[in-house]
Amino acid sequence: MKADKYFILILTCLFLLACNRADETPFTKSDLEKANWPEIEQKARNTTVNFAMWAGDENRNRFFRTEVAEELKKRYGVTLNVVALGDTAEAINKLLTEKQAGKTTAGSIDMVWINGENFRTAKKGDLLWGSFSERLPSFALYDDDAGKTDFGTPVEGLEAPWQRSQFVFAYDRERLKDPPRSTEQLKEWIRANPGKFAYPAPPDFTGSAFLRHVLFHFGGGSNKFEKFDEQLYLSASSKTFAFLNEIKPYLWRRGENYPNSPSELNRLFANREIDLTFAYGAAFASEAIKRGEFPASVRTFVLEDGTIKNYSFLTIPFNASNPAGAMVITNYFMSHEFQLRQSVVLGSIYPHDLSKLSDAQRASVTNLPRAEATLAADELEAHAVPEADSAYLERLEKDWRSQVLLQ
């Protein structure tokens, strides 16, 4: 009897869902050209935005689903629905299928957190709504270079810069007094401490980023790698692979196995199997300490040559149902106010160009509380180098297999 009731309830729900198809007046590129910002905000009022984001972090999920969602409702009358992804590539695959099936309107995702290879795939597959980011008022707060390229792919307004991230190394002060701070020192340290270093096997994102630091070191600095150059790649990569083969016998498990992911690398570090770890995220160690995963004596550092920084972006898919709402939320997410709050709650790096802020805003950024295991923003910025053209990534990841893994 109970089952019957449940069945009828579900059927009723299905019926209501089918009836509840909202009338669709899509917001097009020409609408955006005609509208001014208050009109876009007006258009977004009382709508829902489906925001697809990687959802593997408890604090971030909690922050977006509660505080941020409530604030957006209050401020703009927009309902934020977080679509949880395990990997952003899932959203891109879904959009590819929708493109092939000709579903050009009323898509289920309005906004995606994205960068790098996923952006390149999306741009190449024509999966994005169009140029919008330079119309957002908050765009002016970012460094002029922030919104120009994403891993070497020209952005062209298709996505808006959001968060800034930087690669950092971590060590435990109780176990290691003086960590190596350059590529050469790292080599010496690895040889002197056999089995105490590892890197995730590329194409893992973090392992691949570690390789690029070595590549930049042997190629004469990251600024040479903005556009793909075959000659430069060949000379720098051969030295990179020679370096990696030299350290291979001194790696964790003699380089016969590699960790598969940053979480595996961090677990090895937490279990004291290795003495150095790293991640693409300046606050990763502080977060791990907060969760009780790392001991409180863990600290982070950057290489003297610098470590890679990048931006992650927010974009709108080609078939978004609610582009106006997505723009309003994106603009709010990029604002000083939001970024300040996010830095407090999630420990993320404040991403704006400080010279573009008012004095009061600048002061609030300098006074941000900072976890002990996170480096100060100015130290990070002083050691930040830009990302390479993603063509280098692909070659390096592919050749690593034949030149290092299978050697």
Partner 1 sequence: MNIASRKHSQYAVVVVFGIVALTPFLLLGISSIAANWRFPSVLPSEFTLRAWSYLGSSASGVLPSVGNSVGIAFIVTILAVLISLPAARVLALNRFRGKRVIMFLLILPILSPSFAVASGSHALSLRYGLADSLAGVIASHLVPTIPYCVLLLIGSFTRLDTDFEDQARSLGASPLAVFRHVTFPAIAPGMAIAAAFAFLISWSQYLTTLFVGGGKIQTLPLTLVSFQRSSDDAVTAALTLTFALPAVIIFMVVAGFFKNES
Q: What is the largest CA-CA distance in the chain?
A: 75
- Residue 137's Cβ-count burial label (10 Å; 0-12, 13-18, 19+) is exposed
Q: How many CA atoms lie within 13 A of 71 on its CB side?
A: 14
Q: Whole-number minimum distance, CB 140 to partner 1, in Å?
A: 32
Q: Which residue, 5 or 177, has its beta carbon nearer to partner 1?
A: 5
DSSP output for 199-236: -PPTTSHHHHHHHHHHHHHHHT-GGGGSS--HHHHHHH
Instruction: Decide: 268 and 243 in contact? Cβ < 8 Å.
Output: no
By C-beta, is 298 or 327 nearer to partner 1? 298
Q: Which is nearer to partner 1, 219 or 281 (CB)?
A: 281
What gap in Å lies between CA 335 and CA 351, rounded to an integer? 10
Q: How far is the CB of 154 from partner 1 (least distance, A)?
A: 29
Torsion angle defined by CA atoms of residues 246, 252, 254 and 260, in that order, rounded to the nearest 10 degrees: -90
Residue placing its CB nearer to partner 1 in the complex, 89 or 234: 89
Which residue lies nearer to partner 1 by CB, 197 or 269? 269
User: CA 125 from chain center: how many Å?
Assistant: 21
Smallest distance from partner 1 to CB 165, Å = 16
C-beta closer to partner 1: residue 81 or 364: 81
Pair 107, 319: CB distance under 8 Å: yes
Report, in Å, the least distance between residue 346 CB and partner 1.
Answer: 14
Q: Are 352 and 368 within 8 A, CB to CB?
A: no
In the bound state with partner 1, the residue whose beta carbon lies nearer, of 32 and 91, is 91
Q: How far is the CB of 295 from partner 1 (least distance, A)?
A: 7
Structure tokens at 299: 């600290």
Separation in Å, CA 169 to CA 47, 116, 284, 299, 405: 43, 21, 10, 8, 23
Residue 17 token pair: 């869902």
**Least gap, CB of 122 to partner 1 (angstroms):** 16
Residues forming the site for partner 1 (CB under 8 A) = 3, 6-7, 10, 13-14, 17-18, 50, 52, 54-58, 61-62, 65-66, 81-87, 90-91, 93-94, 97-98, 100-101, 103, 108-109, 261-263, 266-267, 270-273, 288, 291-293, 295
What's the closest the beta carbon of residue 7 comes to partner 1, in angstroms? 7
Closer of 141 and 329 to partner 1 (Cβ): 329
Supply the minimum distance, in Å, between the C-beta of residue 98 and partner 1. Answer: 6
Strand partners for 159: 315
